[in-house]
């Protein structure tokens, strides 16, 4: 029997504004918390709740981890291979 592979993760990328927010995170605890949230979203991009929108732009989702106190706003590409993080709150 062939070994089973874990599900393929989506690649994480950041919008320009999220990249600037990322540069301002200096606490090791905040970086660790953000890293954990990014792994969750990359493994299951549907984990976040959809945000209401007009349908003209990307379909934004919000993932909130109350334990780690992290909030991400993101959208997923059509092929579900890339998650674009638009906003970070740690």
Q: Where are the domains of the chain?
A: 11-89
Prediction pTM value: 0.86
In order of 33, 57, 58, 63, 72, the CA distances from 69 in angstroms are 8, 27, 25, 11, 10
Domain 11-89, architecture per CATH: 2-Layer Sandwich (3.30)
pLDDT reported for residue 57: 75
pLDDT tens track for 50-66: 999 877 778 999 999 99
Element (H, E) at 87: strand 82-89
Return d(Cα 35, Cα 70) in angstroms, integer.
Answer: 10
Asked whether residue 4 carries a pLDDT value surpassing 70, the answer given is: no
Number of other residues whose CB lies within 10 A of the CB of residue 45:
21
Higher-scoring residue by pLDDT: 62, 4: 62
Nearest one of 40, 33, 39, 11 to 89, comparing CA atoms: 33
């Amino acid at each position: 029997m062939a070994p089973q592979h874990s599900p393929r993760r989506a690649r994480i990328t950041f919008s320009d504004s999220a990249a600037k927010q990322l540069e301002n995170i200096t606490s090791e605890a905040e970086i660790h918390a953000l890293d954990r949230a990014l792994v969750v979203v990359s493994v299951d991009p549907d984990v976040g709740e959809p945000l209401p929108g007009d349908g003209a732009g990307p379909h934004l989702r919000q993932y909130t981890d109350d334990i780690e106190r992290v909030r991400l706003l993101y959208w997923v590409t059509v092929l579900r291979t890339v998650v674009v993080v638009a906003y970070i709150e740690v």
